[in-house]
Amino acid sequence: MEQTVFTIGHSTHQPADFLALLMQHKITAVCDVRSKPYSRLNPQFNREALRQTLTSNGIVYVFLGKELGAQSDDLSNYEDGKVQYDRLAKTELFQQGIQRVQEGMKQYRVAIMCAEKEPLECHRTILVARQLTSLGIGIQHIHATGELESHADALDRLRRLWRLPEADLFRGYEEILADACRRQEERIAYESTSAAVAGSAG
């Protein structure tokens, strides 16, 4: 199979519309990376309902929220109550999830799924996709319109959203992109009250 992984957000789609997006891009396996695979507002994407919808349409469903979710049960992955993506990415559990995606790519056309409509608002882009690209895997983000956006284009869009230059006196383009990702992580990363309390107690 090609060395490309897709990402998608279920957003508020109806099942038929979500399936249409997957079929448009010939997705044959969905990896759910939500830490909590349930939605009060969109119950059609609760884990069991989604699995049923996908499998009945010939698409494999795999839950990887434990491995690749944005939340962590390990308090050492938090700083001041906020999860730190760099720490999370280095954990054995996270790396196991990345390996499972790589194995899945050998047989399936894989889409990593989370909840957010906008890829830049989600850890699937700022955390998971960045790790996959570091391994030489191509990433294409599926938007709600069905349009594709490469990961490189998405990160450049993020740079522009943060009003950062392509380069400055001290940093090149890649360093600027890393800065944009750090800023976005700080804005969207999961915050845990219990982790903050534990940190202050320590």
Q: What is the pLDDT of residues 139-151, one digit of tens each?
A: 999 999 999 999 9
The model's pLDDT over 88-102, given as tens digits with 9 standing for 90+, comes to 999 999 999 999 999
Q: To which H or E segment does residue 6 belong?
A: strand 4-9
Q: What is the DSSP letter of 143?
A: P
HSE-CB for 26 with a 13 A CA cutoff? 6
pTM reported for the whole predicted model: 0.92
Using DSSP's 3-state secondary structure scheme, residue 33 falls into coil
Q: Kindly report the backbone phi and psi dihedral angles of residue 32, in degrees, each rounded to the nearest multiple of 5, phi listed first.
A: -85, 115
CA distance 170 to 161: 21
DSSP-based three-state secondary structure for 75? helix
CA geometry: angle at 138 spanning 137 and 142, to 5°? Answer: 135
Residue 164: predicted pLDDT:
98
Angle between helices 151-161 and 173-188 (to 10 degrees): 80
Would you say residue 194 has pLDDT above 90? no
